Chain A
Amino acid sequence: MSWWLDITDLDEDQKNVIDLPPTGDYLFLGPPGSGKTNLLLIRAEYLIRTKYPNLFVLMFNEPLHDFVVRGGVLYDVPAAKIRKMLSWELVLLRENGVLLKDLPEDDLDAKRKALAKKVLELLDTNPKLENHLECLLVDEVQDCFPEEVEVFFRCAKHVCFAGDNRQRIFSSHSVIPAIQERVKTIELKTHYRIGHEICRAADVVGEAAGFSSILDTCNYNDAESKVQFSCCSTDEEQINKIVEALTVQLTAYPDELLAVVGPRKRDRDFLREQLEASALAPLILPHRSSGSDDPNQRIYVAHLLEIKGLEFRTIHLALMQHIHRLRENQKRIAYTAITRAKTTVSVYFTGKIPGYLEQAQVAVEPPKPRPPLEDLFPKKKKGRK
């Protein structure tokens, strides 16, 4: 993450956040790369220092938790205070003697809802647990269920959420409007992480999903960004191209995370298998780890739902011919994936990609010369053949 180290890095919107009193309920809304997670961590640090240390910062999943804990050392937020949402709930239930036998382990959504329900029941039976924390700070709140949000409100005296509806990838229903009715919303308008070309591509995908532009609010000021699409004849060709590009990127972006991502779990497994058979094998991060103590391990291989909240210098979106299998959430997922990159996005596919991605390709590639009018007629085409 492009961690901030001091106040000179903040813009006016962000300064509005650090100006907030230690008490109160807040929601930070902003586009990808606007610094929501950073602000959440800065606020946690501030609260700890202003005699409100009984708090937790909740992350959505393991890779994001890992990522934040590693970057969080730049702030004085103890790692023990940064928790995964589910594990925090599980610990709370176990601490209070609630049995956890009948959780639906195969269905994550069902498991999350069941856990939240159990916590709410616990709060009903043990009212002393209401508001037992000073504050809960929750990242990626747009993907929470209403039950989970209720848990947060009831467990802590104050809540602080960060989220962006555009990056909602797990649920088709948004909890953001309901949260906004209960807390003060602080909107972050500009963003810094994502290069201009990437914004251009993201905007095309976002437009198809009804999102507003992020190119207009882009304050990126780093290496020139690019988005490239590669239509390959085979999946193996995609791998070869990725390996070739990664070899250069490892030199071009020392010490930074690079990602190779496929749409589904099986795509991720295929990519990992192929990359581990290449010369880049020693540089690949362990499964579901977004960081490592070995500084050489910098390539994160994942599927599209595992990159939530993370950021990479470059991202290789491979096997994208399969993205349509993510059905109704696919545009938001594609949008979120593209906006994970700071500088380079490479999209690889064998065969066809959905129209919204084709449109993004048109937006970022140099305009092709217009074909002669007669070429459009079938007769002429036949003659050519």
Chain B
Amino acid sequence: MNTHYYARVDRRDFGDLISEEGVSRLNIETVAEIDILEAPVSNAVIAVWSLDPKKTTQLPEVLICQDGTQNDWAAWITTFAARIRPFSAYMRLMTHTDFQRTAKRSPTPDIGPFTWPAAGLILGEVLGASDLPDKALETLSATAFASTLSFVMCRAAAIYADFQEWSHLVEMWESVREVTKQRTRSIESGSIARVCATVMDALGFQGASKILTRNDTEVSEACRYLFRSPQRTPSNLFETKIFADAEHMMRGSREDRVLAFEEFLHRSDGISVPKPEIMSFMLGYLASRIAPGTIRHSSVLGQVTHRYPTAVLWYGFCAGFAEGDANMPNASGRRGVDFPSSARRMIRELLRPELVLGAPICDIGYLELIALSRTGGDPLEGFIKTTQGSIIVELLPGVCTSVSVSSKPPAESQVRELRGREIIERMGKQIERLCETYKDFLAAKAPGSEAEQRSLFPTRRKKK
């Protein structure tokens, strides 16, 4: 059993957490089971360390606040403890409820047989959202994958076996992109969220259905089928005749499969589609059958991207299910998944173990980012970044997204504006100091001598 160290810290004493001599003043206690820590009162947090802070002089790894006070605390710490800004790069601020839930979860993220389909889904989103060719996946960085919504949702599923707040997670992801002024992507986040939620729903995650519509039911059923029988085509799709015909042809040589897919495209073009969601899934599924287990044929979806933007996500997802022997009579063995090597790197990030009581790996936490964004300007200005050109934002403990930031030096006009701001700031401080001096001056004088006060500003009075 590990010993953990904790201390209740009031707002007025928060500075003690930051300084070496301040820590010595704190009443630090030890506990073996960290999830039994009681909730603090609203004007205090419980700081938790994994090692004795009096020996290590480290910042706490977790700050536990009362439920519902997290936004206030984020704003407060950001404002009053600017010396360690962004504080969330060093410590996690969590509500008591979130802390208890996080403390109980398994330290090893796991999504079982969903790993490759999840990787495919993320690769599909990268392709679709950025209009990239398949080959680009070979050399994409891990941060590019981490910027996707599907990565965030799959990571949440891997870390929290009972995760339910999918809508909130999507909102957080969207907010981060909005406040950091990210480029608009080709696929709407709402559509991506529905694809991911459909998969989560099929995997049995509660709360995912809140994002879905009635049209997504069939797709969810098809996903469930695939999880149960990954080598077989979801039976409910056969209700659509053109799909059944195309699926029947999706055997034999790769050229024949391309022709079968093109025939499906041609036939689907001429029919009305009451449920585009299932058509999108069918397109992705059939495209993935051209070379199962690979992501090399997203180009076949090019001509329907405008009508079915999420088909490429489904393509990636379905590609994560390798082909069975039945469809490859001549092969000496079943082919496995053969994704670009960058996919393994991404999976490493997806399943990276995350200690609750360990320093976060992010550059800033969600709550602090939002708090900073409220004051206008660039909330990421001047921050130390893990990677040049991008910032890692932690949405939930262990669930991060990355956003790109400009690494270019500011333009001349920006420099001028910055200088202007500096001058105004300096002047403002001088005025504040003057006001303080004036107040002291007034306090020293007898109250009510307004005339004397006025006399301090002869020019102003003249103008009046």
Contact = CB atoms under 8 A, between A and B. Distances in A.
Contacts of A254: 134-135, 296-297, 299
Given A221-B335, A251-B300, A254-B134, A197 B254 contact: no
B107 interface: no
5 contacts: A223-B253, A224-B253, A251-B300, A252-B258, A254-B297
B290 interface: yes
Interface in B267-306: 290-291, 296-297, 299-300
Interface string A327-352: 00000000000000001100000000
| Interface hub of A220, A225, A248 (most chain B Cβ within 10 A) | A248
Interface string B312-354: 0000000000000000111111010000000000000000000
Contact of A344 (B255, B259, B297): B255
A222 B335 contact: yes
Interface of A: 195-197, 218-226, 245, 248-249, 251-255, 295, 343-344
The B interface, classified by DSSP as helix, strand, loop or mixed, is: loop
B255 A195 contact: no
B255 A245 contact: yes
Given A224-B254, A254-B297, 17 more contacts: A195-B330, A221-B331, A221-B332, A222-B331, A222-B335, A224-B253, A224-B328, A226-B253, A249-B255, A251-B258, A252-B255, A252-B291, A253-B254, A254-B296, A254-B299, A343-B253, A344-B253
Closest 10 CB pairs of A and B: A252-B254, A223-B254, A252-B258, A196-B330, A252-B255, A224-B253, A248-B255, A226-B253, A251-B258, A254-B296
B194 interface: no
B335 A251 contact: no
B252 A224 contact: yes
Interface of B: 134-135, 252-255, 257-259, 290-291, 296-297, 299-300, 328-333, 335
A245 B135 CA distance: 23
Contacts of B255: 245, 248-249, 252, 344
A249 B255 CA distance: 6
Contacts of A219: 332
A220 B332 CA distance: 7
A284 B335 CA distance: 31
A251 to B, nearest CB: 5
A343 B331 contact: no
Given A223-B291, A224-B252, A295-B135, A252 B331 contact: no
A195 B331 CA distance: 8
A196 B297 CA distance: 24
B299 A197 contact: no
B134 A225 contact: no
B7 to A, nearest CB: 51
Contact of A252 (B134, B290, B329, B333): B290
A224 B135 contact: no
Contacts of A295: 135
B241 to A, nearest CB: 24
Contacts of B329: 224
Nearest to B327: A224
B331 A255 contact: no
A220 B328 CA distance: 12
A195 B332 CA distance: 10
A220 B333 CA distance: 9
Contact of A343 (B135, B254, B296, B328): B254
Contacts of A343: 253-254
